[in-house]
């Protein structure tokens, strides 16, 4: 049965001021003996402290058991008419309800001799021509099933987002929205929003004591309506909280959630999703472009605004497709209030930020990427969350999502709270979030932020600022168990995705299966390679000979984990300077050094990631408040760098030797790792079927002519890329034509060839087959 509103439309109130539920009701001065005495239940409702609203509101047998009493709490109503319905939903009785409390409690008693209570509805007059007809929220039964409560408490309800939060649905023919959340220690929770003028007395929720859940179905609430939860915490503090499971939220100072349906968008990426399920990421190319959506490109003529999801679906994807990246990694787009956090202080673990558009417009961006053959990785932040009042912090007046003890529950450096990973429901919340993005938004993987801070109880803490684990150690056993459970769930429920760890320590087994004692991630960021390589590259070439080991050390541990080589946003911000500025020498040497670095990186075992702006050698370090300096592409050196990245991605994707055995020692061997005197590095990359590429890197500006290079297989080798090519604004050094092997043993090989090694350059030569 659909119940229609009539008369004037109800007023939409988008502002969310903190509302005090305690009614201050002032009578005219009268003698104490004339003060009205109201029903204690009605008074408790008006004071926002009723613990069982379903026990008083709604329909109940009357005292004489010959009928029913119906009660409603609408402080915003002028009058309410109770309309009793027959089996055809026609009104058979219309009864003006008594105003039993002047604050807004209405009651009506009527005879009814059937044991089954009748259906009914309210006709509510708000005055000034505003009125509407609705079913009673307190006439409906339980919302959450017993299994929902049970599995949530166990920490295994991975699809919890399908029942918790706000969900438009129809119950007994009545359209509305169900609301449910977990807050076991709250004294009272109400749904507030556009539909009740943000008045917490209108819609207090039912508490499911067995699971610490609260629930309510509100008829007529529909997609787009703004809402929050008004929480009277255990500490007696009244706070407006954003729904932890909200699918759509405001951003910035406006922090309301919006009712949204997950079932509206029609996907068109069936081919991608089908192939994803069987993809072997270890043996296929993965070249990733890291992006901060708010500063990739802006519109100066329109207030320097950022692009929308739909604009990015065209402009960003055009750029990424042209350069040949296989994946885009998005810095966090889970809703966050503070722009300056870049998304790393999350308040909406189930809602894409509304800065750039609606949830379905974000889906459109992902969908379009998949149709172009581009995967989307999401930067995801389970390590900590902000202390904003509207967020998860002290959600029910207690340390619910976080540890109560600041030695375990706070990141002092970041001013944020740490999740309590020992709690089943908290682990469930985070794992449900991870699966949500991969299942509902078709995200192809998660890069898990700040894993090192999860692993260690003493992370960034001094003596006395942390508590050892039960064995006296520094490992965070709860967080370790969480990460294992997370990865098992992700790979189990979403075949073909990938999980990446930003982990900067030597913790063993980060990317090993949980069955082998590992954490279960698919890949680990190679922070060691990044630090050593950048330290080496920043040195003057004349001094590099004394630091040769910085450039070769990464190969000692290259296959201990499944590594991704990263030059991320963290390396070009906070005064670190851009990559091109890090390079030593004059202008020519700076560009040559950077071309050499990129080429060396693409030749090195491991997946690849660079940050936006790196592909054009932007001079300024990244600034989240403005666009990348795209005008630089008009310069030959900058456009040449972009062409180099494009060509590197092409050979990396097309040539099995450069990607197929990225994580297998059989795919790499040194020719000479000890030529420190000339700062030259030579090595071999191979595929499973013998595809072979020889690489020579020269880290000085001195070219080397007639340089003998060992070859593992006799035959003809052809140069497939030279970073000093004039196409990239280099000096034009090249190895044209065929290079035939000679039976001259060299560098441990029975054959060798003669090549020219470019100055501050890298050359690739492939065995012709």
pLDDT at 115: 86
Sequence-distant (6+) residues with CB within 8 A of 715 are: 740, 741, 767, 768
d(CA 429, CA 245) in angstroms, rounded, equals: 9
pLDDT at 317: 98
Query: Encoding tokens for residue 680?
Result: 């030259």
| Segment 76-121, tens digit of pLDDT | 999 999 999 998 999 999 999 999 999 999 999 999 888 899 999 9
Query: What are the φ and ψ backbone dihedral angles of 207, each rounded to 5 degrees?
Result: -95, 125
Query: Encoding tokens for residue 748?
Result: 């441990």
What is the pLDDT averaged over residues 285-295?
Answer: 98
Q: What percent of the chain has pLDDT over 70?
A: 95
d(CA 480, CA 473) in angstroms, rounded, equals: 13
d(CA 427, CA 404) in angstroms, rounded, equals: 16
pLDDT at 453: 95
Answer whether residue 21 shows pLDDT above 70: no
| Segment 121-165, tens digit of pLDDT | 999 999 988 999 999 999 999 999 999 999 999 999 999 999 999
pLDDT at 577: 97
Using DSSP, state whether 42 is helix, strand or coil: helix
Tokens 């959600």 belong to residue: 395
pLDDT at 233: 96
Sequence-distant (6+) residues with CB within 8 A of 39 are: 100, 101, 105
- The dihedral through the CA atoms of 24, 27, 32, 36 has a sign that is negative
| Segment 314-326, tens digit of pLDDT | 999 999 999 999 9
Answer whether residue 12 shows pLDDT above 60: no
pLDDT at 65: 77
* pLDDT greater at residue 21 or residue 750: 750
Whether 733 contacts 724, CB under 8 Å:
yes
pLDDT at 460: 92
Q: What percent of the chain has pLDDT over 90?
A: 92
d(CA 157, CA 147) in angstroms, rounded, equals: 9
Answer whether residue 10 shows pLDDT above 90: no
Query: In the beta sheet, which residues pair with residue 58?
Result: 71
pLDDT at 253: 87
DSSP 8-class letter at 749: B
Answer whether residue 720 shows pLDDT above 60: yes
Query: What are the φ and ψ backbone dihedral angles of 460, each rounded to 5 degrees?
Result: 55, 40
Tokens 């990464």 belong to residue: 554
Query: Encoding tokens for residue 421?
Result: 């990973």
C-alpha angle with apex 202: 196 to 208, nearest 5 degrees?
Answer: 120
Query: Encoding tokens for residue 170?
Result: 């129809």
Sequence-distant (6+) residues with CB within 8 A of 150 are: 211
pLDDT at 35: 61
Whether 391 contacts 381, CB under 8 Å:
no
| Segment 158-203, tens digit of pLDDT | 999 999 999 999 999 999 999 999 999 999 999 999 999 999 999 9
Could you give the angle at which helices 587-603 and 527-537 cross, rounded to 10 degrees? 150
Query: In the beta sheet, which residues pair with residue 711?
Result: 751
pLDDT at 264: 94
pLDDT at 19: 36
Q: State the pairing for strand pair 607-611/287-291.
A: parallel
Sequence-distant (6+) residues with CB within 8 A of 359 are: 247, 248, 260, 351, 352
| Segment 202-215, tens digit of pLDDT | 999 999 999 999 99
| Segment 490-537, tens digit of pLDDT | 999 999 999 999 999 999 999 999 999 999 999 999 999 999 999 999
What is the pLDDT averaged over residues 444-453?
Answer: 97
Burial status of residue 209 (CB atoms within 10 A of its CB: 0-12, 13-18, 19 or more): exposed
Tokens 């069936």 belong to residue: 270
Residues recorded for the chain:
769
Sequence-distant (6+) residues with CB within 8 A of 473 are: none
**Residues noted as catalytic:** 449, 502
Residue 34 confidence class, pLDDT cut points 50, 70, 90: low
Tokens 């059937």 belong to residue: 114
pLDDT at 114: 86
Residue 17 confidence class, pLDDT cut points 50, 70, 90: very low
pLDDT at 31: 46
- Integer CA distances (angstroms), 574 to 577, 597, 599, 612, in order: 8, 22, 26, 16
What is the pLDDT averaged over residues 394-417?
Answer: 95
**How many CB atoms lie under 10 A from the CB of residue 484?**
17
pLDDT at 390: 97
| Mean pLDDT over the full length of the chain | 94
d(CA 303, CA 293) in angstroms, rounded, equals: 17
| Segment 724-752, tens digit of pLDDT | 999 999 999 999 999 999 999 999 999 99
pLDDT at 9: 36
| Terminal CA-CA length for the chain | 73
């Amino acid at each position: 049965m659909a119940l229609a509103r009539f008369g004037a439309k109800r007023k939409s109130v988008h502002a969310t001021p903190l509302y005090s539920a305690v009614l201050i009701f002032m009578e005219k001065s009268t003698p104490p003996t004339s003060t009205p005495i109201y029903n204690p239940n009605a008074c408790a409702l008006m004071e926002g402290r009723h613990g069982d609203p379903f026990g008083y509101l709604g329909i109940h047998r009357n005292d004489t058991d010959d009928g029913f009493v119906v009660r409603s709490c609408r402080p915003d109503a002028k009058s309410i008419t109770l309309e009793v319905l027959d089996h055809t939903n026609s009104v058979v009785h219309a009864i003006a309800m008594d105003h039993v409390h002047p604050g807004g409690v209405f009651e009506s008693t009527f005879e009814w001799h059937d044991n089954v209570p009748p259906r009914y509805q309210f006709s509510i007059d708000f005055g000034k021509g505003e009125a509407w007809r609705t079913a009673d929220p307190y006439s409906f039964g339980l919302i959450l099933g017993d299994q929902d409560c049970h599995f949530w408490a166990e920490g295994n309800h991975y699809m919890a987002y399908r029942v918790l939060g706000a969900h438009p649905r129809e119950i007994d023919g009545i359209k509305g929205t169900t609301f449910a959340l977990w807050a076991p220690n709250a004294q009272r929770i109400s749904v507030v929003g556009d539909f009740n003028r943000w008045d917490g007395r209108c819609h207090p929720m039912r508490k499911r004591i067995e699971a610490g859940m609260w629930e309510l179905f509100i008829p007529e609430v529909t997609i787009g309506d703004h809402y929050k939860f008004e929480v009277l915490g255990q500490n007696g503090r009244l706070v407006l909280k954003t729904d932890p499971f909200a699918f759509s939220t405001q951003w910035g100072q406006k922090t309301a959630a919006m009712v949204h349906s997950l079932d509206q968008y029609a996907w068109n990426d069936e081919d991608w999703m089908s192939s994803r399920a069987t993809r072997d990421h270890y043996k296929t190319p993965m070249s990733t472009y890291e992006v901060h959506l708010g500063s990739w490109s802006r519109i100066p003529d329109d207030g320097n605004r950022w692009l929308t999801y739909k604009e990015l679906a065209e402009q960003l994807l055009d750029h990424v497709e042209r350069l040949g990246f296989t994946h885009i990694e998005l810095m966090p787009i889970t809703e966050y209030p503070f722009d300056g956090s870049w998304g790393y202080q999350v308040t909406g673990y189930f809602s894409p930020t509304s800065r750039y558009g609606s949830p379905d417009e974000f889906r459109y961006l992902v969908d379009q990427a998949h149709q172009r053959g581009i995967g989307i990785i999401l930067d995801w932040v389970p390590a900590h969350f902000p202390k904003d009042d509207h967020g998860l912090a002290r959600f029910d007046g207690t340390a619910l999502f976080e540890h109560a003890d600041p030695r375990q529950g706070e990141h002092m450096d970041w001013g944020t709270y740490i999740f309590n990973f020992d709690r089943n429901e908290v682990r469930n919340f985070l794992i449900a979030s991870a699966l949500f993005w991969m299942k509902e938004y078709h995200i192809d993987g998660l890069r898990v932020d700040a894993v090192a801070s999860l692993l260690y109880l003493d992370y960034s803490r001094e003596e006395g600022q942390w508590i050892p684990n039960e064995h006296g150690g520094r490992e965070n056993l709860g967080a370790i168990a969480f990460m294992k459970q997370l990865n098992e769930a992700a790979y189990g429920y979403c075949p073909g995705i990938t999980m990446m760890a930003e982990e900067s320590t030597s913790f063993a087994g980060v990317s090993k299966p949980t069955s082998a004692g590992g954490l279960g991630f698919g890949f680990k960021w190679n922070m060691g390679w990044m630090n050593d390589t950048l330290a080496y590259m920043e040195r003057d070439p004349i001094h590099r000979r004394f630091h040769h080991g910085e450039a070769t050390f990464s190969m000692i541990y290259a296959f201990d984990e499944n590594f991704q080589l990263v030059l991320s946003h963290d390396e070009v911000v906070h005064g670190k300077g851009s990559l091109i500025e890090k390079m030593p020498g004059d202008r020519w040497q700076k560009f040559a050094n950077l071309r050499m670095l990129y080429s060396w990186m693409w030749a090195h075992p491991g997946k690849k990631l660079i940050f936006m702006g790196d592909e054009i050698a932007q001079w300024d370090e990244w600034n989240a408040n403005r666009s990348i300096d795209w005008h630089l592409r008009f310069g030959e050196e900058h456009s040449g760098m972009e062409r180099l990245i494009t060509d590197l991605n092409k050979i990396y994707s097309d040539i099995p030797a450069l990607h197929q055995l990225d994580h297998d020692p059989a795919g790499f061997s040194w020719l000479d790792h000890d030529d420190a005197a000339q700062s030259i590095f030579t090595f071999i990359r191979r595929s499973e079927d013998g595809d072979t590429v020889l690489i020579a890197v020269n880290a000085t500006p001195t070219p080397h002519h007639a340089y003998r290079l060992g070859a593992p297989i006799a035959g003809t080798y052809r140069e497939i890329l030279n970073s000093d090519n004039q196409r990239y604004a280099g000096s034009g050094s090249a190895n044209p034509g065929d290079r035939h092997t000679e039976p001259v043993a060299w560098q441990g090989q029975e054959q060798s060839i003669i090549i020219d090694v470019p100055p501050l350059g890298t050359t690739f030569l492939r065995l012709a087959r």
